[in-house]
Amino acid sequence: MGLIAELTHRCPLQCFYCSNPLELERASAELSTDEWRAVLDQAAALGVLQVHFSGGEPMARADLVDLVAHASARGLYTNIITSGVQLTDAALAQLLDAGIDHIQLSFQDAEVEGADFIGGYRGGHDKKLAAARRIREAGLPLTANFVVHKQNAERVEAMIALGEALQAERIEIAHVQYYGWGLVNRNALLPSLAQLEHCTAVVEAARVRLKGRIIIDYVVPDYYARRPKACMGGWGNRFINVSPAGKALPCHAAETLPGFTFPNVRDETLGDIWQHSDAFVRYRGTDWMPDPCRSCDRRELDWGGCRCQALAIAGDAAAVDPACAMSPAHHLLADAVAEAAAAVDVPLVPRRMGSARR
């Protein structure tokens, strides 16, 4: 259904929870404009409906407008997932001319101090507010994406109020997912059960109040779950993620999995990758599943959960997702929650080029 085009890992923000890999791709390794055009052509031929230009910060690419125009000309629905800090009047006008369909704007908090601290960008929150107003004044649909964690969970109500004030058509309240830099900073970010329950109550009340006006998506951390989520709609089921350097991935965090050689769009077509590569076939469907997944009546609902989480927590990408209560590793989630609760004044590691150090 969707192509996630990670155009670059470059970004003016340094969010502590960024899901990009710890080893960020340099600009010199990125696909060229012509290479991305070819990927978009192949995506359209394969039947892809949507392209989500992501990063890093997709607006760090000087050719973003050209790529949006190319995708639009191929009949793809175009969405940009952006911090918004570079979305000036001139930039938005160019994107509108190119045929952009939707913009998803990320927010780190509902207030300036918290947002600029988490994003590591002074003045960033005010620029985001200005970008949101430009988007709505242009008549484009806006999704306001608020990332929630231990340090801002009490402000979820204010986040929803801000999204409402900005006239967002969709608000996403998304708890940090613990991959990449989020996993490095888990002890400082993982909320308590009380915080999660507060967030859930606020979201459910807002959904009732705003029904018919604003859609609210809610993504919770798996660390309190008893059943896994269908990560990316199932491995190799709905999405192709192409990294800045051209690796084709079933999800943005898949490069953490050992024992894979992920194909590159410089060497193979998207169609061949999607249909035949081991990287997409290995965990697709249900044949690969161990018990109790194989005999579970939810196996074609959650598709076995998240392979990257199984590796990060259980140490085996083919294991039962620890988010499932029937997983032998389920107790490790409770251990992580207890460790985070006991952690005090934990130093945060900002997202930067180069390796993260624990």
User: Sign of torsion, CA 303 305 306 311?
Assistant: negative
135's CB contacts (< 8 A; 6+ apart) are 87, 92, 103, 105, 142
Q: Where are the alpha helices (DSSP H) in the chain?
A: 33-46, 64-73, 89-98, 112-119, 124-137, 156-165, 180-184, 186-189, 193-210, 270-276, 278-281, 299-302, 307-309, 331-342
Question: Do the annotations mark residue 18 as ligand-binding?
Answer: yes
11 annotated to bind ligand: yes
Signed CA dihedral, 90, 96, 98, 100: sign only? positive
Q: If DSSP codes are grouped into helix, strand and coil, which group holds residue 114?
A: helix
Task: Say which residues have a Cβ less than 8 Å from residue 34's Cβ, sequence separation at least 6.
Answer: none
Query: What are the beta bridge partners of residue 102?
Result: 79
Q: What residues are paired with 143 via a beta bridge?
A: 104, 170
Gap between the terminal Cα atoms of the chain: 37
Using only C-alpha atoms, the chain has a radius of gyration, in whole angstroms, of 20
Instruction: State yes or no: 231 annotated in a binding site.
Output: no
> What is the spatial order of strands in the sheet that 142-148 belongs to?
215-219, 170-175, 142-148, 102-107, 77-82, 50-54, 2-6, 239-242, 248-249
Q: Which residues are annotated as a binding site?
A: 11, 15, 18
Q: Which residues are annotated as a binding site for [4Fe-4S] cluster?
A: 11, 15, 18
